[in-house]
Amino acid sequence: MDFTLSEDQKMYIDTVRKFVKQEITPSILGLEKEHAFPAAIIEKIWDLGFMNLSLPAEARGFEMDTVSSALIIKELSYGDSGISTSAMCNDLANVVITMHGTQKQKEMFLWPFIEKPLISSFCLTEPDAGSDNSAMKTFIKKDSNGRYILNGEKCFITNASYAKQFTIFCKVGKPDSLIVACLVIPSGTIEKSKILKSSSGAREIVLPEGGTILTGKPEEKLGQLLSNTATVKFEDVVIDDEQIIGNRRLGFHYALDVLDYARPMVAAIGVGLAKRAFDITVAYTKERRQFGKRICDLPVARDTIVKMWKKLEFADMALMKAAWKVQEGAPDRGVYASLAKNAAAEAALYCTSEGLHLHGGYGFMAEYEIAKLSRDAHIIDIYEGTREVQDMIIGREIL
């Protein structure tokens, strides 16, 4: 492994850092108070070419490797982890098409994301199927005309209120089937649909081919307020064969492929958030004085800052190794993806919690960014698999 950055990677980092410094960090607390989806910022990220990172080279015009993707997401997350989560969600939804779709499916379902700033949603989690995805109940079944009909409900779906395309994992035949399929409701279908909106922010999407998609009221969350999250319900949605990705019996394996790719990206979000918490804490403790000294010069405070730095550096190294393993298709990529995800969550939680502590009473005030970061950090430990799930994966692999 050689982690020397290429000239392209250095350019990506420099460009994203300038963007974050100009467009996100100066106004982040004000944006969060508005609690509105940052569509304008998302579109600017698309303009820069830093969305849809998992699309194949023939769509983008150049190759974007996994390590470079992780570096870009880490820098975006330094500005705001909610914004980067919404931007990254397109890859969560679309990478399975890149990996397992036919050439025709790639052209139908991926090429539109190059042409305009579309938003996509990855629909896996259900009310009774969180970490245990085998417990999902959403399913497709053939009707009397031989068409597949989709019914079911998904929850905690990022970008659901704004999605123009949905990637869905579901059972085949019946809700308690052991067979899982992956399918896509494409942007072209959504754009032709009749979309009814309620005052709560929910949508009713009446599809031209038949059926309805209902997205619920956006969830009120503890953190990541700039990332949209809502439920999605599918009612008698007609699914053509060409909307089913790969083998309709291998959806569970495809979901694992997606999560192997996604976990380093979530780790990148966590590392970016932890780095922001570390930097603003160091800046504050250099400026704030107690007992006639800067806080950073007090031994107990310095010890805490050192521990923050160590957790941050370990998480960053774990991230890079995991991204490289995924990029190379290494057989043990899953275990390193889980390690990176856990290490980044631990760094994010520790750096924000201890950073808030070193801010003292000011850290508890909403006007200080460390309070926001502390709320944002908790989801890193949960989405794309809780720490316990990651430990199960690691334990299974090493034993």
DSSP annotation string for 219-240: P--SS-TTS-EEEEEEEEEEE-
The answer to whether 167 and 113 have CB atoms below 8 angstroms apart is no
> What is the value of pTM for the model shown?
0.96
The answer to whether 364 and 353 have CB atoms below 8 angstroms apart is no
| Window from 93-102, 129-138, 213-222 with minimum mean pLDDT | 129-138
What tens digit of pLDDT does each residue of 348-367 get? 999 999 999 999 999 999 99
Annotated active-site residue in 313, 384, 388, 397: 384
> CA separation (Å) from 373 to 40, 79, 157, 353?
22, 10, 21, 9
Mean pLDDT value across residues 5-29:
97
The answer to whether 96 and 258 have CB atoms below 8 angstroms apart is yes
Q: Within 13 A of 353's CA, how many CA atoms are on the CB side?
A: 10
Q: Helix 333-358 and helix 299-328: axis angle, to 10°?
A: 160
What CATH architecture applies to the domain 252-398?
A: Up-down Bundle (1.20)
Is 384 marked active-site? yes
- pLDDT for residue 198: 82
Answer yes or no: CATH 3.40.50.300 is held by domain 7-115.
no
Residue 89 phi/psi, 5-degree rounding, is: -60, -30
Tell me the three state secondary structure of residue 341.
helix
What tens digit of pLDDT does each residue of 110-146 get? 999 999 999 999 999 999 998 898 899 999 999 999 9
The angle formed by the CA atoms of residues 383, 325 and 120, to the nearest 5 degrees, is 40
pLDDT at 2 over 80: no
What is the pairing mode between strands 165-172 and 194-197? unpaired
What tens digit of pLDDT does each residue of 255-274 get? 999 999 999 999 999 999 99
pLDDT at 200 over 90: no
Tell me the three state secondary structure of residue 49.
coil
Q: And the tokens for 219?
A: 């969830």
pLDDT at 63 over 90: no
The answer to whether 344 and 269 have CB atoms below 8 angstroms apart is yes
Domain boundaries, the chain: 7-115, 120-248, 252-398
The answer to whether 180 and 149 have CB atoms below 8 angstroms apart is no
Q: And the tokens for 397?
A: 């692999």
* CATH no. for 120-248: 2.40.110.10
Taking the CB of residue 294, how many other CB atoms lie within 10 A of it? Answer: 15
DSSP annotation string for 367-399: TSHHHHHHHHHGGGGTTTS-HHHHHHHHHHHH-
